[in-house]
Each structure stands twice: as C-alpha cells, then as structure tokens.
C-alpha cells in the first residue's frame, strides 16, 4: 500500500528491508521531494510516496509481481534505472521492457488518462458503465423522455437525452483513442532493442487531451 512518508535525509529510490520468513522486503520511494514548509523543531526534510513490498526472491521479476503498477507509472526514468540497478538489471533489455510495459499499463489506468471534466467536475465512467448508460438512455429516448438523470458517485445531474448520448459518444471515442495509444506504446516497447531506446521512451506521449464537457440543458 502506498503512503506518504517523511525522512530526515533524502531516501534512496529502493531500500533493502531484509530477509524475513523466506521473503525479501524492499521499500520503494518515488517522487522524492524536499519539503518547503517546515515546522519548528521538525527533523524531516524530505517526503516520498512509499510502498512496502514483499518479494518471493530478490529478482526484478519478483519485484514486478509485487509492485503496484500505478506506483511505477509515477516513476521517472532515473528512478526506474535505480530500481533496475538494485536488482543488477540496469543493462538488461528485457528487464527494461518489462518495467516500461508495467509503467505504460499503470499510466493507462491512472487518472491522468481515465478522466474527463463535466461542468468542471473531475469524473470517470468505466466501459461497463458507459455501455449500460447508452442502452438505458436509448430506451428512455424511445419512450419519449426528454431528460435523464446521470449519477457520478453521489453526484447527480439532469441532462437532455440527446446531450447525454452525445457526451457518452465523445467519451467512448476518447477512451478508444487512449486504448490505441496504449496498445501502440506496448508494441513500440517490444520493438526496442537497446537500453538507450527504452530509457528515452516517453510513456505519457501521444494521449489525447482530457475532455472538457458541458451540460447544455
């Protein structure tokens, strides 16, 4: 589980937590930053997003089996290199491919991709919800209803049925375009043959702009 941890000195990207009950423990520290606003007598000067991992063995494959892809998605290239160096895999093309693929998948599932704004409210609807809404709103339209109620968690809004269907259509096209970018990135990783190419790969590139949708009642 990820959590914000504070440190007296800048922490390493990955630390050895020892060997316990047949498993290796490591601590992963990403997005390390120096704290700008310190309280009086505060000893901690750095903070990071930290995750405790229990590994089956001390290998990069065991690490990738245990780590949260959403956490890896936040890593810089330098942090990825530090992780691979810890497992003595910094010059291993296949290890770079594996960690880049996990990073791509984590980014694809993150709020940096799975997000749209509706009247300024940050939201997301998964595939099953989108399909279900299209079906139900289409039925409402056939029943001559002019408006529908859309629920986003605990927030609801009344929307014209045609506007609602157009919003869902735009959202589906956006999601499909994001899917294509992710699939293309994974295919490009497979074609990379050098560590240099994998280090330079930008997992955030080419995604469409986040949708800004409005309720035109």
CA distance 180 to 183: 5
Mean pLDDT is lowest, of 74-78, 140-144, 156-160, 190-194, for 156-160
pLDDT in tens, 40-83: 677 788 999 999 999 999 999 999 999 999 999 999 999 999 99
- What band does 217 get if pLDDT is binned at 50, 70 and 90? low
CA distance 207 to 152: 24
Predicted confidence (pLDDT) at residue 196 exceeds the cutoff of 90: yes
Contact assessment for residue 70 and residue 113, using Cβ atoms and an 8 Å cutoff: no
Token pair belonging to 126: 């998964």
CA distance 18 to 207: 40
Question: What residue segments make up the domains of the chain, in order of their start?
Answer: 2-92, 111-217
Predicted confidence (pLDDT) at residue 7 exceeds the cutoff of 80: yes
Across the chain, what does the average pLDDT equal?
95
**In the prediction, which pLDDT does 97 show?**
99
Contact assessment for residue 175 and residue 124, using Cβ atoms and an 8 Å cutoff: no
Mean pLDDT is lowest, of 35-44, 116-125, 177-186, 207-216, for 35-44
**In the prediction, which pLDDT does 1 show?**
80
Look up the pTM and report it.
Answer: 0.90
pLDDT in tens, 18-43: 999 899 999 999 999 998 876 767 77
**In the prediction, which pLDDT does 41 show?**
72
């Amino acid at each position: 589980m990820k959590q914000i941890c504070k440190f007296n000195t800048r922490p390493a990207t990955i630390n050895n937590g020892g060997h316990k009950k047949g498993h290796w423990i490591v601590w992963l520290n990403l997005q390390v930053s120096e704290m700008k606003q310190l309280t009086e007598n505060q000893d901690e000067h750095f903070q990071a997003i930290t995750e405790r991992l229990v590994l089956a063995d001390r290998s990069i494959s065991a690490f990738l089996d245990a780590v949260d892809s959403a956490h890896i998605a936040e890593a810089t290239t330098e942090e990825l290199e530090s992780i691979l160096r810890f497992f003595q895999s910094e010059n291993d093309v296949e290890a770079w491919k594996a960690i880049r693929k996990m990073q791509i998948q984590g980014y694809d599932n993150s709020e940096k991709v799975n997000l749209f704004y509706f009247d300024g409210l940050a939201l997301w609807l998964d595939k099953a919800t989108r399909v279900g809404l299209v079906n139900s709103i289409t039925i409402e339209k056939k029943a001559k209803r002019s408006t529908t109620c859309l629920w986003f968690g605990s927030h609801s809004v009344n929307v014209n049925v045609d506007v609602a269907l157009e919003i869902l259509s735009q959202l589906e096209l956006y999601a499909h375009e994001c899917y294509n970018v992710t699939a293309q990135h994974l295919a490009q990783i497979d074609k990379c043959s050098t560590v240099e190419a994998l280090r330079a790969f930008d997992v955030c590139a080419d995604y469409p702009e986040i949708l800004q949708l409005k309720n035109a009642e």
